[in-house]
Structure 1
Amino acid sequence: MPNNIKMHVGELRVGMYVSKLDKDWLDTPFIMQGFSIEEQDDIDIVSEYCEYVWVDVDHSRKLSVHSSGTGSASQARASVNAFAPEVSIQEEHRKAYRTFRNARSLTKTMLDDIRLGGALDGSKAREMVNDCVQSVIRHPDALLWMAKIRDERAYTAEHCLNVCILAIAFGRQLSLDESGLHDLGMCGLLHDVGKMRVPEEIVDKPASLTPKEMRLMKAHTVHGRNLLLASSNIFNGAIDVAYSHHERIDGVGYPRKLPGHGISRYSRIISIVDAYDAMTADRCYSRARTSTEALKIIYEERGKQFDEALAVKFIETIGLYPAGSIVELYSGDVGIVLESNQKYRHLPRVILLLDENKKAREKELIKDLVYIESGEIPRKYLVKQVWRDGSFDIRLREYQKKGLVLKH
């Protein structure tokens, strides 16, 4: 067993190995716990977020003799995405708004047609996914911001589109090529198509499902597979995902209770994205969780419900404060995250809407929190907490209609 000693951050010294923090790792910029202290800067980073840590004494002794290769505190931060945005967030927001609006309309029409017994139009679906892929390649945060804007009355359609967008962004982080992003986007878009064969009163029931209703709900995976098999020019991977996205790594998922090694990579990916989007949406029977709460659940379920490596990579993709998040700063100011920071995940660009007294500002103010690193902005502007959409009477849909993001 590791020989862990609780220690105040003021006692940290170069050569020590930090094995645990006094808070959840998702409340810090470290993508995972377990790193060595290699220089004073590492101690300063830890001190910003923790008062106490646990030091693995045995591991620390080994570090004094050998190079561990475990990484320092600086390296333990979320890694930088290899794909830099091609355009500014402001430029892409203008395009992403049109892309998202058209995609939302097409998705709803596509699912309504299927519900009424029509055939799936694969060509239109591919065109729509292509538009989403191109937007994510140009700048992923713009479309991810749009995906935060929801209409509870059209949950299934918006969920399918959001999973498509999130999956493409995740695939970009996984270094998939453009063809792979198209395939993954189609998997996300079509993963829940089988729900069009489940009675709406069951899909939208505001109370717990009976055992019979649950069986009918779970059957959407079989319906989805059959619908896509009967359609022409559908990527085979999307058929598998529709059938298998509720399978679990621990082998207790449905419909086939597949063991982890029997679940395709695309199904493993969509399983995570599907769960995240569902948890962060208001439903008729549950309130939305914040992105931080949802990511904590995904982290806790890694190796059980979700593929462990992919779960950690997805958390890295979404980051601490994804675009579109409503955040409160330590200063008391409240705003919306405009753009995440690939290098310093805890220092996004934020549009401040309310001042420290929670009063509306006469003019919205953009704060690029990365300047906290250089001391140009006071540390009081660090993010304190993420809030749900609607908190402080801030609703993303209303601000989008006002053109808040588009005008900056």
Structure 2
Amino acid sequence: MTDFRQVKAGFYDKSKRSVKVPVGELRVGMFVSRLDRDWLETPFLMQGFLLESQDDIDTVIDYCEHVWIDAVQPKWVPPEERGNIEGPRRKTTYINKISAQDEHRQAMGVFREARRLTKTLVDDIRLGGTINNDEAKATVKSCVDSILRNPDALLWMTKIRNQDNYTAEHCLNVCILAIAFGRHLGMSEAELEKLGLCGLLHDVGKMRIPPEVLNKPGKLTEKEWKQMSAHVIHGRNLLLASPGVANAAVDVAYSHHERMDGKGYPRKLKSAGISEFSRIISIVDAYDAMTANRCYAPAIPTTQALKIIYKDRGTHFDERLALAFIKSVGLYPPGSIVELKNGLIGLVLEGNKRYRHLPKVILLNQGSEPLQKEKIIDLAQIEAGKLSKEHLIRDTMPDGSHGIFVQEFRNKGLVFKG
């Protein structure tokens, strides 16, 4: 049987050959390439996935009788190109201390203050100052405290965007997303604070990039690209010049655009030379950037961003961490705008731990036309036979699609639950 640790580390390549097998014969380490039913009817995000645990196998058994698995062939990978086979051991198991609804009351205040402090930090750097390490650490600490109580409240607030302050809000979002991901990985509270600081400060070097280059809507020239890519060097230098900044933050600012296959910048490091924190921030940075409106590209849906991360696992991103990140984000996070198969448009109110593809949704539109009356439906009723499969989610859309903005619903007092 194939050793899953080697598959994840890149020792094996999937061939195009696939074999139909009963679900009772599935084993951890197999790659499922096809199901005996529509993918939309299952909680699997990717059309093709590795079975990482017995829980994955049990979920397949719940939905299918047969699946097709891809055979694998051995391939030698030099040591310097390998990722971590085992990965860090989970050290801490967290439980939510309070409900998402109760945490919302505190999280909004945390988010507003963190956003204010992050903008001040970025503006100070833009004006030639150095990093206020105490303020940065205080910002991160407040985010860690909220996420340890219940991550869902602060996570959906990362969907609230202001394009005029993109860099500052991106830095804060990466901080929040990284802390939540670290919690999912079982990091200690001290590690979460260090990781959050790395996320908050990873892009500070962009404040040394000329605004006409940083905010250019079109394609960059070769000269402009060299200026833009130098933000990692500026970031390293800024952090080195700022008293008390953790070495990990300096490393991440310098290395978060390195790639596992050695095709990143500035040093073209291969996987063995890239730190764990840099690998994490690389994934989170890409995810938040892709799901936001940028001056040169519109936002893409959450599911599409996760599919890109999945596709680029093992080349751009650390494979083990990419798969873990996809699991931590989930199929349809609260605050996601979704389109159902019947054309109805809605907003995800609450996730479903058992049926990840069947959340609670508030229906708002039929296509581009607003409904006369908003209605909340529980898509888990599909499993009970009380809703038709036409209510399955077809796709997700970026914030603002069909005139639907998460911020407006938050202003009305709507609370999203994880």
* Pick aligned residue for 2:282 from 267, 271, 290: 271
Query: What is the aligned partner in structure 1 of residue 64 from structure 2?
Result: 46
Q: Report what 1:150 is aligned to.
A: 161
Answer whether contact 2:335 2:416 (CA < 8 A) is retained: no
* One-letter amino acid of the counterpart of residue 230, structure 1: A
Indicate if the aligned counterparts of 2:131 and 2:242 stay in contact, CA closer than 8 A.
yes
| Counterpart position of 1:244 | 255
Q: SS of 1:359's equivalent?
A: strand
Contact kept, 8 Å, 1:321 with 1:340, in 2: the verdict is yes
* Partner residue in 2 for 1:29: 43
Distance 1:20 1:212, change over 3 A: same
| Structure 1 pair 55–309 and aligned structure 2 pair: CA distance change class (3 A) | closer
Question: How many residue pairs end up in the alignment?
Answer: 376
CA deviation profile, 1:159-192 (whole Å, cap 9, x unmatched): 0001001101110111001111111100000000
**Offset of residue 312 of structure 1:** 0.6
Aligned residue in 2 for 1:20: 33
CA distance in 2, matches of 1:123, 1:39: 47
Tell me what 1:386 maps to: 396
Q: Show the 5 A alignment for 1:84-99.
A: 84-99=95-110
Instruction: Give the Å deviation of 1:128.
Output: 1.1
2:144 corresponding residue in structure 1: 133
Matches within 5 A, 1:223-242: 223-242=234-253
Aligned residue in 1 for 2:412 = 402
Is the CA contact 2:23–2:60 (under 8 Å) kept in the aligned structure 1? Answer: no
Q: Quick one: structure 1 residues 106 and 25, their matched pair in 2 at CA, closer, same or farther if it must change by over 3 Å? A: farther
Residue number among 117, 122, 128 corresponding to 1:106 in the alignment: 117
Deviation at 1:26, TM superposition (A): 9.2
Of 13, 18, 27, 1:4 maps to: 18
Alignment check: 8 A CA contact 2:256 2:278 kept: yes
Q: TM-score, normalised by structure 1?
A: 0.82
Q: Distance in 1 between matches of 2:266 and 2:71?
A: 47
Q: Give the distance between the partners of 2:265 and 2:390, measured in 1 at CA.
A: 47
Q: In structure 2, give the amino acid aligned to 1:54.
A: W
Instruction: Tell me the secondary structure at the aligned position of residue 285 of structure 1.
Output: coil
Structural mapping, 1:7-406, within 5 Å: 14-15=24-25, 19-21=32-34, 28-30=42-44, 33=49, 42=60, 45-46=63-64, 53-54=67-68, 83-330=94-341, 332-354=343-365, 358-360=369-371, 362=373, 364-370=374-380, 372-374=382-384, 379-405=389-415
Distance 1:212 1:39 in 2: 50
Deviations 1:226-278 (A, max 9, x none): 11111112111011000110111111111111121011100000001001111
In structure 1, C-alpha distance between the alignment counterparts of 2:152 and 2:97, rounded to whole Å: 12
> Does structure 2 retain, via aligned residues, the 8 Å contact 1:328–1:334?
yes
Partners of 1:26 and 1:296 within 8 A in 2: no
Change in CA separation of 1:5 and 1:89 when aligned onto 2, cut-off 3 Å: same
Gaps of 5+ in 2: 1-14, 73-91
Q: Deviations over 1:51-105 (max 9, x none)?
A: x9525699xxxxxxxxxxxxxxxxxxxxxx9533222222122221111111111
- Amino acid of the residue matched to residue 397 of structure 1? Q
Deviation of the 1:37 alpha carbon: 12
For each residue in 1:183-207, what CA deviation from the matched residue of structure 2 results, as whole angstroms up to 9, or x when unmatched?
A: 1100000000011111111111001
Whether the aligned pair in 1 keeps the contact of 2:153 and 2:416 (CA below 8 Å) is no
User: What one-letter code is carried by the residue in structure 1 that aligns with 2:33?
Assistant: K
Q: Give the partner amino acid of 1:405.
A: V
Aligned partner letter, 1:142: A
Structure 1 residues 373 and 151: alpha-carbon distance in aligned structure 2, compared to 1, 3 A threshold:
same
Cα distance in 2, alignment partners of residues 186 and 255 from structure 1: 21
